[in-house]
């Protein structure tokens, strides 16, 4: 199993749903910089890019591994945004 261990100024976690996305951007200290629910999936690409614009200089985007993650991975690749796919079974509970 490989873990993503690079440090960034901002971290964006996205909870994907079939008709909306919920995103949260944290800074390196764990302070919430952005917390939004994007309800219209048809415009979510443009809305997502607009919302993360202030943080794009050093951000990594992470989503859970489920059937709706492909479009956000493709968008991040096209936009030059670092992308990490997470899997719930990789997390450990202590």
How many structural domains comprise the chain? 1
pLDDT for residue 94 is more than 50:
no
**Quick check: is 35 in a domain?**
no
DSSP 58: G
Position 94 in a domain = yes
The verdict on residue 61 lying in a domain is yes
Both tokens assigned to 42? 């048809």
Instruction: Over range 32-55, report the average pLDDT.
Output: 87
Q: What is the per-residue burial (b if ≥16 Cβ within 10 Å, else e) of 31-45?
A: eebeeeebeebeebb
Residue range 23-42: mean pLDDT, rounded: 89
Assess if residue 19 is contained within a domain.
Answer: yes
Question: Between these two residues, 7 and 88, which has the higher pLDDT value?
Answer: 7
70 confidence band (pLDDT: 50, 70, 90): confident
For residue 58, what are the domain limits?
Answer: 8-23+43-67+79-94
Token readout for 36 is 């939004």
**Look-up of token digits 């719930």:** 88
Q: Is residue 89 part of a domain?
A: yes
* Between residues 25 and 91, the one the model is more confident about: 25
β partners of residue 60? 11, 82
Q: Is residue 62 part of a domain?
A: yes
Q: Is residue 54 part of a domain?
A: yes
Question: Distance between CA 19 and CA 64 in Å, rounded?
Answer: 16
Q: Is there a domain that residue 31 lies in?
A: no
């Amino acid at each position: 199993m490989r873990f993503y261990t690079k440090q960034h100024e901002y971290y964006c976690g996205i909870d994907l749903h079939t008709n909306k996305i919920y995103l949260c951007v944290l800074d390196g200290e764990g302070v919430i910089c952005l917390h939004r629910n994007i309800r219209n999936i048809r415009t979510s690409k443009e809305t997502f890019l607009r919302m993360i614009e202030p943080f794009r200089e050093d951000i990594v985007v992470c989503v859970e591994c489920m059937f709706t993650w492909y479009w956000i991975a493709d968008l991040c690749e096209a936009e030059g945004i670092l992308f990490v796919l997470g899997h719930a079974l990789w997390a450990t509970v202590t």
